[in-house]
Structure 1
């Protein structure tokens, strides 16, 4: 009951839910989900436009895969809709209840929310590539060998369960309302939809310097040795420049899209779960408990020492 009161206080403090309830009281959506409801028709329209442009080039577009990508995105949205409110939001409400500062929504705090969310996104995204537990969910987004707007929708229905949302909890502890955090995150994802394309070349220099662009994000989706695990930024590319993970797109080396171990099936369940299956199979190999658990937080390519040696050390 106390937790429910805290969650209600968070919603009321944002002021946005009351406005939505006046506009459409019959639809039970939070602000973040509402943004995606309005954005989805735009996504579809833009994806159709792109399809008409590149449909004759199988290297860039496959209609069946594009439909599959939107189905993957729908699965992601359904689990977010059903479970975010009972898994993630109560934790945010708890952190916000014990916040360090009382921050009112102003132009300044709104900008700081955007900046904080983008900073946290960078580290969440970086961890999603360098820690296998998070990679198990994120890998589906990179498993397509094509780069187009539908690829942006290629998300994992397990995202809400594997805990990537914990990276944003410090913002709630500081005093940023979780609803604002969710709204800033949603707008970031909307922006990122539009950088999944090969139709846009390099943009003016100052934009490429500050913002994540289609050119920067094509690098991120490349499996070329020099492109792997680069350009993690969400809306801004400045974090990659600051923390040494930025690589510019090289016209002499076009990105080769996909992952180094392609998925052998297009079944939605396989796409969502194949890396979890491989992860738990590796953890099931003989060895000490900490050695087994190491697969969760080490990089995806990490391999344990010889299993038989681990087993002998455990017995000793």
Structure 2
């Protein structure tokens, strides 16, 4: 416990975060190479998949440029500043770390679900869903503001009294777990694991544009949140990846900005100020009640 307390600090967080991220990225690249060889063996590898994979990493570069250059200092600063208003002074122990990891996972579930159900949030998150493929490179496909919104969902943990840097580590672990789920190589696992934890099978469903798979399986680490809140769907039919209205492009600028381009076009074309607000704050596909179309699932 003393070790954990000593190492949850600004300096040590930076060291451990860099170490974990770097080694995980090396693993991810090795696994991606394995996936691509596997696709080649089963004759599914094509130039579109290769181009889409490159696009995924270019959007990662764009994302890093925005998140780390413009948002990193603000993000950490907001946590440190908020910590002085904490309701409790929760000690940094292994027990409190496990608790905050579970709470961060729950916060991620609701963050993820809301990103799908509010149009201006979906505009950035839809970038991650726009690939028609599913391999570990898709995990690195990010939208312009994907690094901004988690702050608001995890800040309550700091205000509750958890060490702000421990909260950041918990967020990192949830994200890294999610990264490992982006693969078709791993099929369904042992049933108790599938019941409790998020798995590649569950996350494949989340990336599906099949009608029965839309807006399902938002979980980070624990799939029990989806089971509890009625958003779980098992993988039964073959998954069709991507958006309901595909972007049909491997251009990284199109992939990175298509969500906001679509949103602003929809707002501009919608008559009436109130209706424009409905498009902006409503769910994807929102239409006025007297319109011909009704709200559609977020894909």
Q: Normalised by the shorter chain, which TM-score bucket?
A: 0.7 to 0.9
Quote how far apart the aligned CAs of 1:30 are: 6.5
CA contact (8 A) 2:181 2:199 kept: yes
Q: Helix, strand or coil: the match of 2:213? A: coil
The answer as to 2:118 corresponding to 1:131 is yes
Partner of 2:283: 299
Partner of 1:314: none
CA contact (8 A) 1:32 1:182 kept: no
Quote how far apart the aligned CAs of 1:272 are: 1.4
- Give 1:43's match in structure 2, choosing from 18, 22, 28: 28
Q: Helix, strand or coil: the match of 1:189? A: helix
CA contact (8 A) 1:14 1:177 kept: no
Whole-angstrom CA distance in 1 between matches of 2:187 and 2:268: 46
CA contact (8 A) 1:215 1:249 kept: yes
Whole-angstrom CA distance in 2 between matches of 1:233 and 1:58: 32
Quote how far apart the aligned CAs of 1:31 are: 4.9
List gaps (5 residues or longer) in structure 1: 1-11, 21-28, 308-316
Q: How does 1:270-285 map to 2 (within 5 A)?
A: 270-285=254-269
Q: How does 1:1-316 map to 2 (within 5 A)?
A: 15-19=8-12, 29=14, 31-57=16-42, 59=44, 62-161=49-148, 163-250=149-236, 253-285=237-269, 287-304=271-288
Quote how far apart the aligned CAs of 1:110 are: 0.3
TM-score (norm 2): 0.87
TM-score (norm 1): 0.83
CA contact (8 A) 2:56 2:252 kept: no
Question: Mean alpha-carbon deviation: is it higher for 257-266 or for 70-79?
Answer: 70-79
List, as ranges, runs of 4+ consecutive aligned residues in structure 1 with deviation greater than 4 Å: 56-61
CA-to-partner distance for each residue in 1:158-205, whole Å, 9 max, x for gaps? 3235x3421111111101222112111111121112211111111011
CA contact (8 A) 1:60 1:148 kept: no
CA contact (8 A) 2:138 2:182 kept: yes
CA RMSD of aligned residues (A): 2.3
Q: Helix, strand or coil: the match of 1:157? A: coil
Whole-angstrom CA distance in 1 between matches of 2:228 and 2:45: 32
CA-to-partner distance for each residue in 1:107-159, whole Å, 9 max, x for gaps? 11100110011000000110111111111111111111111111111112332
Q: Helix, strand or coil: the match of 2:288? A: coil
Whole-angstrom CA distance in 2 between matches of 1:157 and 1:210: 32
Question: Mean alpha-carbon deviation: is it higher for 47-56 or for 85-94?
Answer: 85-94
Whole-angstrom CA distance in 2 between matches of 1:231 and 1:155: 19
Rg larger in structure: 1
